[in-house]
Amino acid sequence: MLATLPARLYPEPALANNLILLALQKAAVDTGVVLDATHWSRSGRSLNVPSSSRGLRFHLYPSPNTHTDPNYSTYFTPRHARRVKKGRKILRPYERIVLSSYTKIGERTVNAVCWHGHRDFLRAAFTILPDLRIKSTLGWGGKRVTYRGPADFEAKHPDTATINIGSTYQPLLYADACHCEAK
């Protein structure tokens, strides 16, 4: 995703990027997701984008589970710790699932935030910084969706719930790809 601020209101790109980063970090803490505001470049991994450019690219991940039960064992993946009890994975808040014909139960979890997590995070971000513009990579027919403020977000975001993120053989709507209680 890409977050920007209007140039006419925020003429200094470095200041705008810092405001965006602070707002997104606060929204991530309020929502309970992990914000990754780093990106890969040809020279390696670097924080944010160059100060002369406008906008901030970011990704969201489910927060690590915080069980303190001694029966849980911890193993680490490249990004987060996962907790497992007796060989069964504990679902993290806002963790997305995908359908798989190779597993016994037919679904598996991935290190991605579900539709409800994106919705709650973007609502919190727009509450903190109403001038924010978010360009999402998920849209209708492969096109990007741009949210220009909270009113535009509330008008466009419900339509993204019906996007098929599964296959033709096993369709899966974006809003149904999780085990959230508040669907």
- pLDDT tens for each residue of 128-175: 999 999 998 776 666 788 999 999 999 999 888 888 887 788 788 888
Residue 116 lies in a domain: yes
Q: Within a domain: residue 30? A: yes
Please check whether residue 181 lies inside any domain of the structure.
Answer: no
Question: How many whole angstroms separate alpha carbon 84 and alpha carbon 21?
Answer: 33
Q: Number of folded domains in the chain?
A: 1
Q: Is the pLDDT of residue 15 over 90?
A: no
Residue 20 falls inside a structural domain? yes
Whether residue 183 is contained in a domain is answered as no
Q: Does 136 map to a domain?
A: yes
Beta pairing partners, 163: none
Domain interval for residue 34 = 2-176
- Look up the pTM and report it: 0.79
Return the number of other C-beta atoms located less than 10 Å from residue 145's C-beta: 19
Residue 26, pLDDT score: 94
Tokens 């064992």 locate to 73
Beta strands, E only, the chain: 2-4, 33-36, 38-41, 44-47, 56-57, 59-62, 73-76, 81-85, 88-89, 95-99, 107-113, 133-136, 145-148
Q: At a CB cut-off of 8 Å and minimum separation 6, what does 98 contact?
A: 107, 108, 109, 110, 165, 166, 172, 177
Higher-pLDDT residue of 69, 46 = 46
Residue 110 lies in a domain: yes
